[in-house]
Amino acid sequence: MMPSIRKPLRDATSRRSDAQLVRESLDDPDRFDEVFTRHVQAIFVFACARVGPDHAQDVVAETFIAAFRSRSRYAPSATSARPWLYGIAANTLRRHHEHETRWLRRFASDSAGVVDDYDRSVDRVDADRAAPKLARAIATLSTDERDVLLMHVLGEMTHAQIADALGIRRGTAKSRLSRGRARLRALLPELIDEPTRDDQS
């Protein structure tokens, strides 16, 4: 838990953009705490989907350490640090490839089992049964396709934001997402919907 002494700092910086906080952190490193607080959950969810909860914390720690050390190169025009952090996390995850492969295989092989809790909703039961299938399908994607797909789905990032995060062209991000979706849709037509107009941004 964050010490109470830091609360005034968070309150005072809560209205500042990430770009402002990163810039100010060059002189006052404590300013970076707010960037961490704003985005740590999103980066953890992204990492957890790739390597599981046991290794996700390591990925998150490495991501924010790398971000802090490279903050002098942060683009001032990027008001949100999330795409930048996703890009660093994606690079970090490449060093955890063995953990990722092991996690996806283990998750995919787990049986959904018998649901004993009759208070659980039908939607949750369906999700539990679908999860191993989805993990198996995601495991068939290339690392590049997986990066883009999870940034789009979990991070709710646009093609432009993904391209910026990964240092690739917008068209490349769009084509990787399209290929990844097509592959998942071929394997799981009952789970993967056709892309909507909102997904084309």
Residue 195 is predicted with a pLDDT of: 58
Whether 182 is covered by a domain: the verdict is: yes
Burial of 171 (0-12, 13-18, 19+ CB in 10 A): exposed
Whether 7 is covered by a domain: the verdict is: no
Residue 114 is predicted with a pLDDT of: 30
Whether 169 is covered by a domain: the verdict is: yes
Higher-confidence residue: 110 or 39?
A: 39
Percent of the chain whose predicted confidence (pLDDT) is above 90: 47
Residue 13 is predicted with a pLDDT of: 54
Structural domain containing residue 45: 17-200
Asked if residues 175 and 141 have their Cβ atoms less than 8 Å apart, the reply is: no
What's the average model confidence in pLDDT over 35-40? 96
Whether 12 is covered by a domain: the verdict is: no
What's the average model confidence in pLDDT over 144-148? 92
Residues shown for the chain: 201
Task: Count the domains in the chain.
Answer: 1
Residue 94 is predicted with a pLDDT of: 86
Asked if residues 87 and 165 have their Cβ atoms less than 8 Å apart, the reply is: yes
What's the average model confidence in pLDDT over 90-100? 83
pLDDT of residue 51 exceeding 70? yes
Whether 98 is covered by a domain: the verdict is: yes
Whether 181 is covered by a domain: the verdict is: yes
The Cα 22–Cα 17 span in angstroms is: 9
pLDDT of residue 75 exceeding 90? yes
From 62-71, 72-81, 85-94, 181-190, the region with the lowest mean pLDDT:
181-190
pTM of the model: 0.71
Which residues have CB under 8 Å from 194's CB, separation 6+? 185
End-to-end CA distance of the chain: 37
Whether 92 is covered by a domain: the verdict is: yes
Whether 35 is covered by a domain: the verdict is: yes
